[in-house]
């Protein structure tokens, strides 16, 4: 396990569970976000902003360099009055970036949260407080991939939840 900076409440919970023998190895929280009414470019910036507001760092893992370039552009311009600072392999000082964009399992910024988008899959879920899989519910390939990931992770000891966006835009926990 790589050394990461974890939030104080998380460390207290982790140490408490270790002391009481509730688990032997770290299990992270895994969330599946089923996008139906908004695009990834609309939802991802909001979740990244909430991540940064918690004092956390994030990694966004996509399936291609072209997709990363598109996401990078949308993060710089997602609102007229704000942007989300981020970097990728083309940037220097990766460890200083609050949000890191990549196509593999790298985490040079010691992120607390990993976002897997467009079918990306992380092999190192236990290195994060939270891993978030975001998928387009209107894409049969993305839906099938998310179902496969759910089945694999459901058999693990990770805490897994499934979120679906209602017609009013509010996220509802379905499982």
Query: Do 136 and 35 meet the contact criterion of CB atoms below 8 Å apart?
Result: yes
Find the domain containing 53 and state its range: 28-173
Residue 118 lies in a domain: yes
C-alpha distances in Å from residue 113, one per residue of 36, 138, 143, 168: 23, 25, 22, 26
Containing 11, the helix (H) or strand (E) segment is: helix 8-19
- Provide the pLDDT for residue 1: 41
Question: Is residue 3 predicted with pLDDT exceeding 80?
Answer: no
CA distance 114 to 39: 18
Provide Rg for the chain, Cα atoms.
16
Give the three-state DSSP class for 133: strand
Residue 23 lies in a domain: no
Least confident of 1-10, 11-20, 22-31, 158-167: 11-20
Q: Express each pLDDT in 101-140 by its tens digit.
A: 999 999 999 999 999 999 999 888 999 999 999 999 999 9
Q: Express each pLDDT in 47-97 by its tens digit.
A: 999 999 999 999 999 999 999 999 999 998 888 888 899 999 888 889 999
What's the number of domains the chain is made of?
1
CA distance 105 to 59: 9
Query: Do 132 and 84 meet the contact criterion of CB atoms below 8 Å apart?
Result: no
Residue 1 lies in a domain: no
């Amino acid at each position: 396990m790589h050394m990461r900076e974890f939030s104080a409440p998380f460390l207290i919970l982790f140490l408490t569970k270790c002391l009481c023998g509730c688990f032997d190895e770290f299990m992270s929280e895994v969330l599946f976000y089923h996008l139906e009414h908004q695009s990834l470019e609309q939802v991802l910036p909001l979740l990244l902003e909430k991540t940064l507001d918690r004092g956390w760092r994030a990694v966004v893992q996509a399936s291609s360099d072209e997709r990363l370039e598109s996401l990078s552009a949308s993060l710089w311009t997602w609102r007229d009055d704000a942007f989300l600072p981020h970097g990728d392999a083309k940037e220097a000082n990766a460890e200083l970036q609050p949000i890191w964009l990549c196509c593999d399992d790298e985490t040079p910024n010691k992120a607390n949260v990993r976002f897997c988008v467009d079918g990306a899959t992380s092999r190192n879920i236990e290195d994060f407080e939270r891993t978030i899989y975001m998928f387009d519910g209107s894409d049969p390939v993305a839906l099938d991939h998310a179902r496969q990931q759910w089945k694999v992770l459901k058999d693990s000891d990770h805490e897994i939840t499934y979120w679906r966006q209602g017609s009013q835009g509010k996220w509802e926990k379905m499982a």
